């Protein structure tokens, strides 16, 4: 069974991100930057109707706009569109301006149909149906265990609550898109993607091109957070335009489009009841929820991150449960997997009710969690975190903070799968001693490149500068998509394997042992003219799945304005074998800051009357800014015996929950709806219902 070397120099170090220089200098070319010869600008025409029968799309006038080289429909004939922003057609031209003019002049004949964009309305029988032959509200998926009603009757303390979370948008800074070119019948695509293989498969299948004639490159990409798999409708449109125009076509979505049609995190409306005996042991849990994943929520999906369901009672052990979850269709864009799909939503409801129960039990919230958390690692993390955070000193009974600006603290825990498998890699050792590692994986800013360089460096006895890491190309040995926090655990063992094999083969081929730098040089020289090319793949024993993590939040709430400021987040996260410490810590920062956005600012807002997305921009869909960032204190637990595990997702799961608990602790009253805006805080303080999603 392979195992990581005991002596690790680069692995686990704070070595710098190897693509830093390219990114800070502007040299890094993203798919949105590449400019193949003769490239054309492309744009997508989208539906202005939330639901309509489209009877005709006339592209004639668009084709006459000077500079326009091609104009196509998304699909032929009549069709029904089901959300504001659904793709209708696309144009390609020599300038962006020509494309803008062309889009404005396309005639679309449409018969508007009744629509619904609000979950509470859509779930009623009286609501217009998104799909004619299916009720908007799915039959609930039910999960029962034990005898929940009897168990409640025996509980000493019961807490009940209603919690809601909004639809959240991924909003990676680089929008979705591809630059596509056909070269002698072969499709070449530069894609902003988390999965070059998924894009290749998508193009091949959708355009009926042999897979052997499709190449996808994603050398640098500007964020995905789960939404960038497959070629997308915009990718297919770019490819078809390119074929028609006989020139490369670049289609990257506008920020406006990103809010409409490329995925989101489903909303949730959760009615929860939780009961415990006097000793603090959870006995009974009941949850009824619904939420929307857009037009496709009606049937409860079986997982994969696109549906409105989530695990309940999340991380806690409760012997008697009844869980009923439904999805509700609305006329809005479909959900896509979004950083820990289901989990931040699950965590928010569960951790809120846990704190409410702690109050009823007159028990410390951390103590209640430790009592009911089956994970030894997390229990340890709560203890470590509480001490590091200063929980004992900071924690006060809810609402007892004095003065108009109240402080409060809260905590929450996370669980995630991750793990990895199935990656292949190739190592080329050149006679001059330099090394190329090739792997068809992706670096979303997650640090994959760096991780590869550090592992290769330690295993080959080299410095990162001597290793050229080549990723993001379907011409390289395949790897899985970068989702589910599986990249590090998939790629690391493959790099371990290929380097171990390469070193062994070098030594056997040259007869020189390649221990240190000098010896390495000597061995490589003996290769003569040809590089040594070695393949490797993922092996068991070097990675595992399962991550935990807990976070503590300290907030200040100005009860006279409703403004919430997160002062501090302490995160204790199990890191497994941490390969690249610097990039790992950055992931934690990132997950927490995204969680703060979920807690305080982010909410996709639909308009009932018109059916449009009302905030398709960064002005009113608000992302956490630098000034909003709290002090973040990270404690990473090095657990090399577990091998490489994932971290991208677990670190964003409990943040909003911890913040919400801290706010409730500060105020003595709970805001049960995210985001916790000044409006919602003030409403809660006046005793009115605070769980209406857009008030």
Partner 1 sequence: MKSFQYATAASPVSARELRGENGRYLAGGIDLLGEMKEYIAEPNILVNIKSLPGLNKIERGAQSWSIGTNVTIAELENHAELKSIFPGLQQAAAEVGSQQIRNVATVGGNLAQHSRCWYYRHRDIQCLKKGGDTCYARHGENKYHSLFTGNTCISPVVSNLSIILAALDATVTIQRGEKEVRLTIPELYAKAWDNPTSHHSLEPEDLVMKVEIPVQQRRSAYLQVSEKSAFDWALVSCAASAKADGGKLSQARVVLGAIANVPHQAQAANELLEGKVLDDSLANQVADVILAKAQPLSQNAYKIQIARTLIRRTLAQLKA
Partner 2 sequence: MNDPNQGDGLIVSRRSFLKSFGTTAAAAATAQVDVVAQDLQKANTEKTYGPEAVPITLNVNGKSLNLRVEPRVTLLEALRNHSNLTGAKEVCDRATCGACTVLMNGTPIYSCSKLAIESQGHEITTVEGLATNGKLSNVQQAFIDQDGLMCGYCTPGFVMSVTALLQRTPRPTADQVKHACAGNLCRCGTYPRIMQAAFKAAGLPVASNSEVLSYAKLA
**Contact set with partner 1 (CB under 8 A):** 48, 84, 97, 100-101, 104, 560-563, 565, 600-601, 605, 607-610, 612, 614-615, 619-620, 622, 625-628, 677-679, 682-683, 686, 694-695
Of 239 and 594, the one with the shorter C-beta distance to partner 2 is 594
> Which partner in partner 1, partner 2, none is near 484 (CB below 5 to 8 A by kind)?
none
- Copy the structure tokens of residue 154: 């025996």
3 state SS of 155: coil
Q: What is the DSSP string of 260-308?
A: HHS--BPPEEEEEEEEE-TTS-EEEEEEEEEE--GGG-SSPP-SSS-SS
Smallest separation (angstroms) from partner 2 to the CB of 474: 20
Of 254 and 466, the one with the shorter C-beta distance to partner 2 is 254
Residue showing tokens 């971290």 = 647
Smallest separation (angstroms) from partner 1 to the CB of 610: 6
> Which partner in partner 1, partner 2, none is near 677 (CB below 5 to 8 A by kind)?
partner 1
Smallest separation (angstroms) from partner 1 to the CB of 44: 15
Smallest separation (angstroms) from partner 1 to the CB of 56: 19
Smallest separation (angstroms) from partner 2 to the CB of 173: 4
> Which partner in partner 1, partner 2, none is near 687 (CB below 5 to 8 A by kind)?
none
3 state SS of 28: coil
Query: H or E element: which one contains 501?
Result: helix 487-510
Residue 512 CB contacts under 8 Å (≥ 6 apart), including other chains: 506, 519, 522, 523, 526
Of 323 and 656, the one with the shorter C-beta distance to partner 1 is 656
Residue 173 CB contacts under 8 Å (≥ 6 apart), including other chains: 222, 223
Residue showing tokens 């090394």 = 435
The Cα–Cα gap between 541 and 422 comes to 13
> Which partner in partner 1, partner 2, none is near 29 (CB below 5 to 8 A by kind)?
partner 2
The Cα–Cα gap between 52 and 31 comes to 34
Of 85 and 420, the one with the shorter C-beta distance to partner 1 is 85
Of 22 and 685, the one with the shorter C-beta distance to partner 2 is 22
Give which of 264, 291, 297, 263 is closest to 130, Cα–Cα. 297
Residue 207: how many other CB atoms lie within 10 Å: 17
> Which partner in partner 2, partner 1, none is near 512 (CB below 5 to 8 A by kind)?
none
The Cα–Cα gap between 57 and 108 comes to 5
Question: What separation, in Å, do the N-terminal and C-terminal C-alpha atoms of the chain show?
Answer: 57
Smallest separation (angstroms) from partner 2 to the CB of 27: 8
> Which partner in partner 2, partner 1, none is near 578 (CB below 5 to 8 A by kind)?
partner 2
> Which partner in partner 2, partner 1, none is near 605 (CB below 5 to 8 A by kind)?
partner 1
Of 131 and 563, the one with the shorter C-beta distance to partner 1 is 563
> Which partner in partner 2, partner 1, none is near 561 (CB below 5 to 8 A by kind)?
partner 1
Instruction: Report in angstroms the alpha-carbon separations of 108 from 73, 98, 103, 240, 613.
Output: 11, 19, 10, 20, 20
Of 78 and 608, the one with the shorter C-beta distance to partner 1 is 608
Of 194 and 301, the one with the shorter C-beta distance to partner 2 is 194
Smallest separation (angstroms) from partner 1 to the CB of 331: 14
Smallest separation (angstroms) from partner 2 to the CB of 262: 14
Give which of 234, 235, 262 is closest to 332, Cα–Cα. 262
């Amino acid at each position: 069974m392979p195992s990581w070397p005991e002596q690790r120099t680069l692995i686990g170090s704070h070595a710098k991100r190897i693509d830093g220089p390219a990114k800070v200098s502007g040299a890094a070319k993203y798919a949105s930057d590449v400019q193949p010869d003769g490239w054309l600008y492309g744009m997508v025409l989208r539906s202005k109707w939330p639901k309509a029968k489209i009877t005709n799309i006339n592209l004639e006038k668009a084709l006459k706009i000077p500079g326009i080289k091609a104009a196509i429909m998304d699909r032929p004939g009549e069709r029904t569109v089901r959300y504001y922003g659904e793709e209708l057609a696309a144009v390609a031209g020599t300038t962006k301006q020509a494309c803008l003019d062309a889009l404005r002049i396309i005639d679309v004949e449409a018969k508007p149909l009744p629509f619904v964009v609000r979950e509470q309305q859509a779930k009623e029988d009286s609501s217009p149906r998104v799909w004619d032959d299916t009720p908007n509200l799915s039959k609930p998926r039910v999960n029962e265990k034990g005898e929940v009603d009897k168990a409640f009757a025996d509980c000493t303390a019961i807490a009940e609550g209603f919690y809601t979370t909004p639809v959240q948008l991924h909003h990676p800074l680089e929008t979705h898109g591809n630059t596509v070119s056909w070269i002698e019948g072969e499709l070449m695509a530069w894609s902003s993607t988390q999965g070059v293989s998924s894009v290749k498969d998508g193009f091949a299948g959708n355009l009926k091109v042999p897979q052997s004639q499709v190449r996808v490159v994603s050398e640098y990409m500007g964020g995905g957070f789960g939404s960038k798999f497959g070629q997308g409708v915009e990718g297919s449109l770019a490819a078809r335009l390119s074929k028609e125009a006989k020139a490369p076509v670049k289609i990257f979505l506008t920020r406006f489009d990103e809010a409409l049609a490329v995925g989101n995190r489903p909303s949730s409306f959760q009615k929860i009841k939780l009961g415990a005996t006097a000793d603090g042991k959870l006995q009974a849990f009941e949850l009824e929820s619904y939420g929307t994943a857009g037009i496709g929520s009606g049937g409860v999906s079986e997982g994969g991150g696109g549906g409105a369901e989530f695990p309940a009672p999340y991380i806690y052990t409760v012997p008697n449960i009844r869980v009923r979850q439904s999805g509700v269709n609305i006329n809005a864009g479909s959900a896509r997997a979004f950083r820990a799909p289901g989990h931040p939503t699950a965590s928010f409801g569960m951790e809120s009710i846990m704190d409410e129960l702690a109050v009823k039990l007159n028990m410390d919230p951390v103590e209640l969690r430790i009592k009911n958390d089956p994970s030894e690692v997390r229990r340890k993390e709560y203890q470590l975190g509480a001490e590091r955070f200063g929980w004992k000193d900071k924690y006060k009974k809810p609402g007892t903070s004095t003065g108009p600006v109240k402080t409060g603290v809260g905590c929450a825990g996370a669980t995630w799968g991750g793990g990895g498998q199935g990656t292949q890699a190739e190592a080329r050792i050149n006679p001059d001693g330099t090394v190329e590692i090739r792997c068809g994986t992706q670096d979303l800013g997650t640090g994959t490149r760096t991780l590869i360089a550090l592992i290769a460096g330690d295993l080959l006895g080299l410095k990162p500068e001597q290793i050229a890491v080549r990723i993001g190309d379907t011409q390289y040995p395949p790897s899985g998509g970068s989702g589910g926090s599986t990249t590090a655990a998939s790629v690391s063992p493959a790099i371990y394997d290929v380097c171990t094999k390469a070193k062994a083969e070098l030594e056997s081929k040259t007869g020189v042992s390649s221990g240190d730098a000098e010896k390495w040089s000597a061995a490589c020289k003996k290769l003569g003219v040809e590089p040594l090319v070695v393949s490797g793949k993922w092996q068991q024993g070097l990675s595992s799945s399962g991550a935990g993590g807990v976070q503590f939040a300290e907030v200040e709430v100005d009860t006279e304005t409703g403004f919430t400021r997160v002062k501090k987040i302490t995160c204790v996260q199990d890191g497994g074998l941490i390969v690249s410490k610097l990039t790992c810590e950055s992931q934690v920062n990132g997950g927490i800051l995204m969680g703060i956005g979920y807690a305080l600012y982010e909410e996709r807002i639909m308009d009932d009357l018109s059916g449009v997305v009302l905030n398709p921009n960064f002005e009113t869909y608000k992302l956490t800014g630098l000034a909003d960032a709290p002090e973040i204190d990270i404690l990473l637990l090095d657990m090399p015996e577990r091998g490489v595990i994932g971290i991208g997702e677990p670190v964003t799961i409990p943040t909003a929950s911890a913040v919400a608990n801290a706010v409730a602790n500060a105020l003595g009253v709970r805001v049960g709806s995210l985001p916790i805006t000044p409006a919602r805080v003030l409403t809660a303080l006046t005793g009115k219902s605070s769980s209406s999603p857009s008030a």
